[in-house]
Structure 1
Amino acid sequence: MRKNNHTVVKEFILHGLFGNDEVETGLFTLFLIIYILTLVGNIATITLVWSDPRLHKPMYIFLCNLSFIEIWYTTSTVPNMLFGMLSKNKVISFTGCFLQFYFFFSLGTTECFILAIMGYDRYLAICHPLRYNVLMNSRICSNLAVTCWISAFLWTAVPVILIEQLPFCGPNEINHFLCDPGPLLELSCLKSYGIEMMYSVCNSLILLSTFAFSFISYGFIIKTILRIPSSSGRRKAFSTCASHLMVVIIFFGCAMSMNMRPSGNHPADLDKVVIVFYTLVTPLLNPIIYTLRNKEIWNAMKKIMLSH
């Protein structure tokens, strides 16, 4: 990303989570523990899947992609936030700020795509079980995963580059703990409503389309489950997708509450708390939710523990 010739600002000052050093120092240990547990949980999920041949199925391949996303999604912001909690120098370079912005939103967009594809995978498994191995084989699974990654990173590049090219003449203080597009657009010397509208449309389009795709998939899934005659069959079918549905609701609920609100002034502290939830807490919850409700994951874990 090349800086515009009119750019004067060379770095930004992040106010942090609450702008209170004593409060942030007290929260440092808690957030560090959550971050470490997030890394351990998601790395363990990937390790379990790849170490057990019985888990080499599309559902778990997509789960590995989701865990890999969560590792880097939280890493794109949390280490810098933790460093800022202990340091009085909360400065981030111009390039570093926009790189954080790019990776944070690219990974978030990738997660939207992966969650939608995971819903489609469950739709095929439950609604078309006899054709599942043909409709979702390993080649199709790999192609879908790669397409999600490439599409997300290409999609996000356009609005990020356009915002980066705006002139920033000062002030350079961001009332946030990360480089969020809202505060960045406010700091620009040139108010470009076209770029703001384009960014808003890009965000809304991704969120609405992927959520609608997931919603439609689960509409067909629930309809099929209700037609199963035995209660044990219904429970078994629903248990295979309940974890994913829970993750979808949490992730899209937080993302939409932040990115699809009416324009206007919003409490900055509330925005920060919501972003902390889906950048720090949600990545921790995902491996817990999938592990606690999945017998195959539990069996793979027991197998590794017994072998040692």
Structure 2
Amino acid sequence: MRDGEINKKSNVSMVKDFVLLGFSDLPNLQGFLSGVFSIIYSIILFGNSLIIGLTRVGPALKKPMYFFLANFSCLEICYVSVTLPRIVVSIWMQDRTIFLRACATQLCFFLILGATECFLLAVMSYDRYVAICHPLHYILIMNPKKCIQLAAGSWFGGIPVQIGQTCQIFSLHFCSSNKVGHFFCDIPPMINLACGDTSMHELSVYVVAMLFAVVPFSLILASYSKIISTILKLPTAHGRGKAFSTCSSHLLVVVLFYGSASITYFRPKSSHSAGIDRLLSLFYTILTPMFNPMIYSLRNKDVIAALKKLIFKT
């Protein structure tokens, strides 16, 4: 067997590499998909890089809110770069093989950056909570030192646990098939390949998901419950509308990311199917990073003003 060595006595595959089936069930669309994903990746790089650049040169974008937005855009570039370039190369070269260590590395970075996104979305909601509920103390509370600490915690907080989870997943014994019904190495399809009882591994996945997804999401909900309560108490419709507009972009990103990711990771193994997992993964790994720059820029007057100023200068 080219893609693995089978131990005949135990009927367990000593896998050295995997085959990412990805979009192989669409043979007539390989060239089209390669072109589409290349364009999407270019849009993600350009859009998020533009936001990072604007937050550095725009005087009106020196607020803590835009510091976190720049971090978020940088995260999106890293997040999508873990999966999308390899997808494009695999489709273009018609070589879907990925070595075990490369698969483990991809999963590890994917999980670490996914945890960072959960934390950073929670930090951004906290920033909006302070800005709307405690506007007079905003600059004092969200001082530069605290912003850096919150951003650093978001980036590095999930590293030890996610490395441990990756080691746990790849300590499993995989059965004779090494064909992964997905376009990158993710937890559900890897567990589906495992032999024997994987209930304890699934339980650990749920526990980690609760820690890195549900807890930040609960903090986001708590922040927005306070925010909405404060906004509804504002005396004028104009004030309420302005306050809602500063939160709507972030809230839309939260719904897109958590909606698709939670369905993927909180469903039991028996209900997973390659097609549904692949479709859901497209949302939180590719489409959300592509739409984020549009969501934030089109609904933010400061970003639009900084962009116009940059264009007219050039």
Coarse TM-score class (shorter-chain normalised): over 0.9
Output the amino acid matched with 1:267: S
Q: Whole-Å Cα distance in 2 between the matches of residues 64 and 12 of structure 1?
A: 36
Q: Deviations over 1:61-93 (max 9, x none)?
A: 110111011101111011111122223321001
Q: Deviations over 1:196-227 (max 9, x none)?
A: 21122211332211111101101110110010
CA distance in 2, matches of 1:265, 1:133: 48
Identify unmatched segments of 5+ residues in structure 2.
1-11
1:301 is matched with: 307
Alignment partner of 1:228 out of 216, 221, 234: 234
Contact 2:54–2:303 (8 Å) recurs in 1: yes
C-alpha separation in 1, matches of 2:195 and 2:233: 59
| Letter in structure 1 aligned against 2:51 | T
Contact 1:15 1:175 in 2 (8 A): yes
Match of 2:6 in 1: none
- For 2:24 and 2:14, how far apart are their aligned partners in 1? 27
1:189 to partner: Cα distance: 3.9
Candidates 205, 210, 223, aligned match of 1:204? 210
Matches within 5 A, 1:246-285: 246-285=252-291
Which residue of structure 2 aligns with residue 63 of structure 1? Answer: 69
Question: In structure 2, what residue type is equivalent to 1:188?
Answer: A
Instruction: Give 1:116 shift.
Output: 0.5
Determine whether 1:128 maps to 2:134: yes
1:18 Cα deviation from its structure 2 partner: 4.8
Which piece of structure 1 moves more, 164-173 or 226-235?
164-173
Shift of 1:41: 0.2
Q: Which moved more, 1:14-23 or 1:94-103?
A: 14-23
Question: What one-letter code is carried by the residue in structure 2 that aligns with 1:175?
Answer: G
Percent identical: 40
TM-score between the two structures when normalised by the length of structure 2: 0.92
1:240 match: 246
Structure 1 segment 134-149 matched on structure 2, within 5 A? 134-149=140-155
Pairing 1:23–2:43 present: no
Secondary structure in 1 matching 2:15: coil
Residue pair 1:74, 1:283 contacting (<8 A) in 2 also? yes
Question: What number of residue pairs does the alignment pair up?
Answer: 303
Report what 1:3 is aligned to.
Answer: none
SS state at 1:38 partner? helix
Q: Does 1:35 align with 2:36?
A: no
In 2, distance between residues paired with 1:128 and 1:136?
A: 11
- Alpha-carbon displacement from aligned partner over 1:222-269 (angstroms, at most 9, x marks no partner): 110010001111111111111111111111111111111244133311
1:289 aligns with 2:295: yes
Contact 2:120–2:151 (CA under 8 A) maintained in structure 1: yes
- Asked if the contact 1:14/1:90 (under 8 Å) is kept, the reply is yes
Contact persistence 2:256–2:283 (CA under 8 A) = no
Q: Check the 8 A contact 1:204/1:259 in 2, yes or no.
A: no
Measure how far apart 1:169 and its partner are: 5.8
